[in-house]
Every structure is written in structure tokens, then in C-alpha cells.
Amino acid sequence: MKYPIISMHIFTVEPADFEKLVQRATETLRVSATLPGFVSVNIFGNAPHTKVLLASEWQSEHAWSRTQWNELIGKAVTDLVELSQDHEFELYSHIAP
């Protein structure tokens, strides 16, 4: 049985770059939403505008993995990392109902 997974990116930015990163992340998600296996996405920002959390849900690890070969997604993620001071990434698997 395939279980959904969550892809979590946390970007640390200068407050002056916060809106630019959020805009670029939103553009990236428009592309992601058209890819097979995409379920949902949420973008969160902290109050001081120094961190952006990008959480996307995929039907399976295989569906998420396929997106990593998408040229537009690869370029967009590279842009987001370059806009940030720091970047953390984790892939979470479904382990309990």
C-alpha cells in the first residue's frame, strides 16, 4: 500500500528577502500542483519574517521522487535556496493513522 509523504523545506531569510522568497515559493507550487501525485501544499512564515516553511504532501514517495527530475521544479528550488541564508529539508513518511 502506498502512503502519503510530506516534504518539508525551511528557509531562513533576511526580512528584506521574505516577500520575494514567498512569491517565488508560490510560483513553484503552481507548477507542483500540476504534477502527478501532488496532494496539497502549505506555506507558513514566522512573525519576524526570517523563516519560511514550505510543506507539500504527495501520494507516495515515488510521486515525490518523480518531481525531483522536473526541470522547472529543480530550477525553482535552486532559486529558493539561493535566496535564503540557510535551508533545511526533511521527507516525512506516514507511520500511523
Pick the more confident residue, 35 or 96: 35
Question: Binning pLDDT at 50, 70 and 90, where does residue 1 land?
Answer: low
CA distance 55 to 71: 20
CA distance 94 to 18: 30
CA distance 50 to 62: 32
| Bridge partners of residue 92, in order along the sequence | 6
Q: Where are the domains of the chain?
A: 16-93
Phi, psi for residue 88 in degrees, rounded to 5 = -120, 145
pLDDT digits (tens, 9 = 90+) for 35-92: 899 999 999 999 999 999 999 999 998 888 888 888 888 888 888 899 999 999 999 9
**What is the CATH class of 16-93?**
alpha beta
CA distance 80 to 11: 8
pTM passes above 0.85: yes
Report whether 52 contacts 44 (CB < 8 A). yes
Read off the C-alpha cell for 31: 507548477
Give pLDDT, residue 69: 82
